Amino acid sequence: MDQTLKVLFIISEAEPMIKVGGLGDVGGTLPLALQKLSDRQETETELDIKVVIPYHDHIKQLNWPVEWVINYKIQNRDSFLDVYVSKTLNTDIPIYLLDGEPIRNTDIYSSDTYVDAEKYAFFSCAALELCRALKWTPDVLHAHDWHTAFGVKRLAQIRSFDRLFSKTKSLFTIHNLPYSGGNHPDVLYRYDLQPAYDPAIPDGMRSLPMALGLDSADHISTVSHTYAKEIKTEAFGHGYQFFLQNHSDRVSGILNGILMEQWDPSTDQTLYKNFSAESLDERIHNKRMLQQELWLPQKDETPLFVMIGRMTYQKGFDLCIQALRQMRDLNWQLIVLGTGEESIQKACVALANEFPDRVRVEIKYDSLLSKRLYAGGDLFLMPSRYEPCGIAQMISMLFGCVPVAHATGGLTDTIKDPEDYPDAYTGFLFADTDIQAAEWAMRRSLTYFADKPQWREIQKRGMRQDFSWEKSAKEYIELYRKLSACPASSD
């Protein structure tokens, strides 16, 4: 090992303390994967990584064991604000929990964008100042999504005169571009943050936190190669496409991984019956129990579709709902698990009312049921209109539930369709974002399902995929190394 690379990793969620979506998976598992690589001395670089998240009320309610680390103050234009920092015990690596007035008595994400802007501006600026309090100089600030973009901007503004950060570089990872944060110039003013300068960012968007992060990061990454290309187009760029095209050399994709041991049907104690690629016969017990538990006819031969996720327009549930209506001539069952927008919940319930002997809808967040669905379903529907990476499709493959998905972002990068991989396909993709395309792919998948030996091969190939963080974590370390070796520029 030739050096120690210090990384300040700031993010709004990290499991197991807090997970709202895939961001929480990344916050909890990527730092762990990075640390493991470093501990096993598999890279030339030793890592010293500090993960910092807000001490959300939700985490306090868990009574997670923590130890106090330090208190300090940060200054904004109005006043000095107290910052209280604790550190988790009983986690694989310690997570720094940052607390203060703008964080207290708030939801993880508020429906009021002003409350969120204040909370995350405070969090991001205070997280940078934690380095000063700890007398620890980071080589790289790795920030994620709009919530922590304020920190990227602040770093760019201060490093020309602030010796602590004079050599610190920033990496800004986009997990979901359309979520830009609220437009609140007065919050920026209060925290002394300038709007984005770049002329390729539309005027009305310059004060959005996402714009701040993009404009001032030394490097921008996103969570799959395909999404890195898609965000440079009008359809996926949400107004940032010209900026991203102009700065193409600063934009790259690194696919998210998952903790493979966390998603292993051969050991998972919550399943009705464990199974592996070598004992696929056992898997059917999970389907039977699931059908029984949800009062569906217990039929092995009836293909069971499952759909799990946040009920938002992004996830495209509506496409499959309508496609299934048009497939009433075929034999199928469907179980939906999710929460979210009322109109989508209603659309799912309407389908269940229309097909009472075929469709079940569970409106809730339920990790246990989600695993039983991955283990018992035959086909996993993921018709996302866009999907920066997505982990649900990876989990479904590892559990032998074959994905049928829209060919976008990380879905394109992780699912192999028979047309492109005639000898190695793991699922089914459709190119156009419409009901006909979804229906065509679902019908196509059912013809494969009908051929049992062939279906087993698809399941086995999916279950043997390597979605671990290993490769991606190495790519992040390489990027950190490259960044830290470049001379710093100032804003």
Stretch that binds ligand ADP, among 143-151, 265-273, 278-286, 385-393 (CB under 6 A): 385-393
Q: Please name the residue that has the structure tokens 């708030």.
A: 106
Contact status: 337 vs ligand ADP (CB under 6 A): yes
Q: In what order do the strands lie in the sheet with 80-88?
A: 66-75, 80-88, 95-99, 45-54, 3-10, 140-144, 169-174, 219-222, 251-253
Q: Which of 402, 351, 395, 356 is nearest to 377 (CA)?
A: 402
Query: Which tokens hold the place of 110?
Result: 């508020």
Contact status: 22 vs ligand ADP (CB under 6 A): yes
Contact status: 310 vs ligand ADP (CB under 6 A): yes
Contact status: 397 vs ligand ADP (CB under 6 A): no
Contact status: 355 vs ligand ADP (CB under 6 A): no
| Interface with ligand ADP (CB under 6 A), residue from 30, 74, 158, 308 | 308
Q: Which residue's CB is nearer to ligand ADP, number 105 or number 367? A: 367
Contact status: 262 vs ligand ADP (CB under 6 A): no
Contact status: 108 vs ligand ADP (CB under 6 A): no
Smallest distance, ligand ADP to C-beta of residue 367, A: 5
Contact status: 21 vs ligand ADP (CB under 6 A): yes
- Interface with ligand ADP (CB under 6 A), residue total 16
CA–centroid distance for 59 within its chain: 19
CA distances from 269 to 54, 266, 372 (A): 31, 9, 11
Q: In what order do the strands lie in the sheet with 359-363?
A: 359-363, 333-340, 304-311, 379-382, 402-406, 428-430
| Interface with ligand ADP (CB under 6 A), residue from 254, 344, 391, 437 | 391
For 377, phi then psi, to 5°, come to -70, 155
Of 233-252, which residues contact ligand ADP (CB under 6 A)?
none
Q: Please name the residue that has the structure tokens 């993709």.
A: 429
Q: Which residue's CB is nearer to ligand ADP, number 21 or number 178? A: 21
Query: Which tokens hold the place of 123?
Result: 């969090």
Contact status: 390 vs ligand ADP (CB under 6 A): yes
- The residues near 14 (Cβ < 8 Å, ≥ 6 apart) are 24, 27, 28, 31, 51, 53, 95
For 233, phi then psi, to 5°, come to -105, 160
Q: Which residue's CB is nearer to ligand ADP, number 76 or number 370? A: 370
Contact status: 261 vs ligand ADP (CB under 6 A): no
Smallest distance, ligand ADP to C-beta of residue 66, A: 25
Stretch that binds ligand ADP, among 113-121, 331-339, 421-429, 447-455 (CB under 6 A): 331-339
Residues that bind ligand ADP (CB under 6 A): 21-22, 308-310, 337-339, 365-367, 370, 390-392, 395
